[in-house]
Each structure stands twice: as structure tokens, then as C-alpha cells.
Amino acid sequence: MGGVVVKDDSPRHTWIPETKLESKLAEAIRRREAEGCAIKSFNSIILKFPKIDESLRKCKDIFEQFDEDSNNTIDQEELRKCFQKLGVSFTEEEINDLFEACDINGDMGMKFNEFIVLLCLVYLLKHDPTALHAKSRMGMPNLEATFETLVDAFVFLDKNKDGYVSKNEMVQAINESGERSSGRIAMKRFEEMDWDKNGMVNFKEFLFAFTLWVGINDSEDEDEGEEKV
């Protein structure tokens, strides 16, 4: 009641993942979706925002630790060392793909927000359902719990469990929350997430939007006066 009704305007054509990494991520999400979802309402996601925010900000320490030359950017070399330290192994190609996928501003480095998204994708990719609820995959239990919440939030939104959130699914999720004004908010949130405007939001887009919503962006450190080209 009180929500907006949206015509089914989702694209009819089959969704084709653009890159190998993208299809791997969608696959990982679908695997995770098969395990079920602990989140029961959109409101409960909203209620988790402050905690997620706090946890992601703590991730700054990790970022600084791996940013060896302290230029506020994690380059490929630093990232390789980071993976080594965390004990996660990827092929060269996978590292390049991850790096490219998360280098949203195209400066050949991971800014803080890009790094958070990258780590969360790593978390998802390294999720091994056979390792029955292993305590920690990357040696960062608190952060991993937050990543799990983010994965869970996405799984909650993806009603038909195809690995992508469509506009209708977003509206449906928010309508279920029973708030009168929430339909418009759902649409706005969706527009913010759907960067390439193809009517679908993948997990990576969702994560980037999330870092924005909780107020993490890469401009926070620019008071240090560095101007990069």
C-alpha cells in the first residue's frame, strides 16, 4: 500500500556480462543467493548504515598500511603485496581485471573508495561455500562481517536471484518497507546506482553507490594539496 506502481520496463534482451570478471562476480552472487538471505526488510538495511559506515572508515588503516609510498593511491604493485599479505591469490589477469574494474576515475590507482569496493569484490570471489562458515577469509573479521552485510543487502534486493538488481526489484524491495514516500526514493537510488543506464545494477555498481551513500568518497584527503593529472 502506498507505494508506486511501476510498469515492467526492464529490458527484454538477455543480459550479457561485459567481462570475464563481471560474469565471475555475477556467478559468485548467484552462488551466494542460493544460500539464502539474512535480511528481511529494506529498513533493516537502512538501520545498518551507521555501522557499515563506521566499519568501512576503519578500513582506512588498512588502506594506509598498503599505500606504502603514502600517495593516497594503491597502485598495482602495492595491490599485489596487499593480496600476498591477505593470503588471497589471483592470476595476473584477474588482478588486472579487478584493478581495471574498480579504477572508476581512471587514474591507474585505487583511491580509498575504489579500494573498499575492490576488497569487497575479493571477499565475494573468495567465498567458498565448501569452507563451512570459515571464520575469516582475509584475516579481517570485522571488515568481512561488513562485506557480508553488503552482499546480503544485494541478495535481498535481487528478488529473482539472477545476480542483478533491476529497477522493479528495487521498487519492490522498498515498497515492502511500507513507507509512503519510499517509491520515489527507490527510483532515485536506483538511478544513482545504474551508471550505464541499462536498467540493471550489478554488485560492483551497488557497492560504489553504497560508499557514496554512507559518505565515503575519494576527495576526503585532497586537502593535502596534491594535484594529479
Element (H, E) at 166: strand 165-166
Query: Interaction with Ca ion in 85-144: which residues (CB under 5 A)?
Result: 103, 105, 107, 109, 111, 114
Q: Which of 35, 69, 93, 222 binds Ca ion (CB under 5 A)?
A: 69
CA-CA-CA-CA torsion for 187, 177, 147, 37, nearest 10 degrees?
-120
Q: Which of 33, 144, 152, 158 binds Ca ion (CB under 5 A)?
A: 158
Shortest distance (Å) from residue 4 CB to Ca ion: 19
User: What residues contact residue 195 under an 8 Å CB cut-off, 6+ apart?
Assistant: 205, 208
Angle between helices 20-33 and 203-213 (to 10 degrees): 80
Nearer Cβ to Ca ion, position 63 or 137? 63
Nearer Cβ to Ca ion, position 33 or 144? 33
Shortest distance (Å) from residue 157 CB to Ca ion: 8
Q: Which of 21, 52, 62, 67 binds Ca ion (CB under 5 A)?
A: 67
Count of residues touching Ca ion (by CB under 5 A): 14
Write each residue from 18 to 57 as x if it is in contact with Ca ion (CB under 5 A), else as -, in one continuous string.
----------------------------------------
Q: Which of 142, 160, 181, 217 binds Ca ion (CB under 5 A)?
A: 160
User: Do 10 and 135 meet the contact criterion of CB atoms below 8 Å apart?
Assistant: no
Stretch that binds Ca ion, among 34-42, 45-53, 60-68, 137-145 (CB under 5 A): 60-68
For 74, which DSSP code?
Answer: B
Instruction: Output the CA–CA distances (angstroms, integers) from residue 16 to 1, 167, 203, in the order listed.
Output: 35, 17, 15
Nearer Cβ to Ca ion, position 67 or 205? 67
Nearer Cβ to Ca ion, position 144 or 158? 158
Measure the CA–CA gap between 85 and 82, rounded to whole angstroms: 5
Q: Which residue has the cell 522493479?
A: 168
Nearer Cβ to Ca ion, position 13 or 133? 13
Measure the CA–CA gap between 182 and 154, rounded to whole angstroms: 18
Nearer Cβ to Ca ion, position 3 or 109? 109
Nearer Cβ to Ca ion, position 201 or 214? 201
User: Do 19 and 26 meet the contact criterion of CB atoms below 8 Å apart?
Assistant: no
CB-facing half-sphere around the CA of 198: CA atoms within 13 A: 14
**Contacting residues toward Ca ion, per CB under 5 A:** 67, 69, 71, 73, 103, 105, 107, 109, 111, 114, 158, 160, 162, 164
